[in-house]
Amino acid sequence: MAAMNLNKEQLQQMMNGDKPVLVDFWAPWCGYCRRIGPAYEKIAEEYGDQLVVAKVNIDEEGQLAEAERVEVIPTLILYKNGKAVDSVVNPGSKAAIDQFIQEALAK
């Protein structure tokens, strides 16, 4: 399944579900964000049954990004039971995203 773009309400709803939620905070003007895009779609495909893999456009959801203290993009945050367990800024490879997810899930 493709990574879904969520707004604040939708994200809140997802966080109340059973699955952990992975969010990529991004913006259309951000080159580094664009570069992780294809690998992130692959992540969505591979982890679809364990995780909700989502995206938040910080230009559209500025308040949400601020509330989550996202200062630099791309930032990936993994939420379990509605709480942020870990985050990573600008991962340099798909392998780095894999490792981040596995470590965050184990926390």
Nearest CB to another protein, comparing residues 10 and 90: 90
The tokens of 68 are what? 């989550």
CB of 52 to another protein, least distance (A): 21
Catalytic residue among 10, 19, 27, 30: 30
Closest CA to 47 of 86, 15, 19: 19
Whether 59 is catalytic is no
How far is 106 from 26, CA to CA, in rounded Å?
A: 25
Whether 4 is catalytic is no
How far is 80 from 71, CA to CA, in rounded Å?
A: 21
CB of 101 to another protein, least distance (A): 13
Q: Using CB under 8 A as the criterion, which residues of the chain lie in contact with another protein when the complex forms?
A: 29-32, 34-39, 42, 71-73, 89-90, 92-96, 98
CB of 18 to another protein, least distance (A): 28
Nearest CB to another protein, comparing residues 15 and 75: 75
63, 74, 89 from 19: Cα distances, Å: 24, 22, 22
Active site residues: 30, 33
